[in-house]
Structure 1
Amino acid sequence: MSKKVLIVDDSSVMRMTVSSILKESGYEVIEADNGQSGFDKAMATPVDLIISDVNMPVMDGLSFVRLLKEQSQYRFVPIIMLTTVTGQSDIEAGKAAGVKAWMVKPFDKAKLLGAVAKLLG
């Protein structure tokens, strides 16, 4: 059975790009355009991994991660932040919230797939 990945990003182009890369590699993909929508979708359908942006309307990525990690079924689900944010304080806040990997846009396709495979492996 293929692993389900939730992509949370307010950029439809970024969601489409990441989604097509993951689908080509055999992953099932669910998309959301902000943290609140991502949380709602994660609660409705269990996912194996989450890729989220930081800066989004309605609910930002770090708030989304914190809220998600409060849910027992998501305590150990890996989260990758895929973002333009590079500040050390943001990265540390992400790690403290439960983010497993931090990748900066524009991203390398092979590195993204490698991180996804490693975290799901």
Structure 2
Amino acid sequence: MKAEETIVEQIQDIIQKLRYYTGRSNRHFKMIRNYYEECIIIVDAEEFIQENNTLSITVYSEDLIYYTVDIPLNFIKHVFVSASIDQLNDQLQLKYNEGLIRVSLTLNDDLCEKLRSSYCGDITFFNEAEGQ
């Protein structure tokens, strides 16, 4: 049971950091629950790197500082990255909006269930249907 609590605390800490570093607005950070009841974190990042068993997401905060948040890969079921084509040189760039990369992380089902059933502090889930 202690290991489960630690994992939930870890993901809560990750979510809180991402939300805080992105300015706590829903513009660059959102946590939703989709039609299939999956927990999805959506964040606009400066950099997105996967090394070994960790996903590192770097965000540029409102206080003009770069912060990197590391997420263990075993917490994640799917990763979707929005990319656009650079019109100047026709190369695929990992850029989305305002030069940012939109990263959507679907948490694994077990972790999602634990997160929803635990006390989540000020973690808020939006349903996709609500359009928030």
Q: Give the TM-score normalised by structure 1.
A: 0.26
Is the strand fraction higher in 1 or 2?
2
Higher relative contact order (Cα pairs below 8 Å, separated by 6+ residues): 2
Greater Rg, structure 1 or structure 2? 2
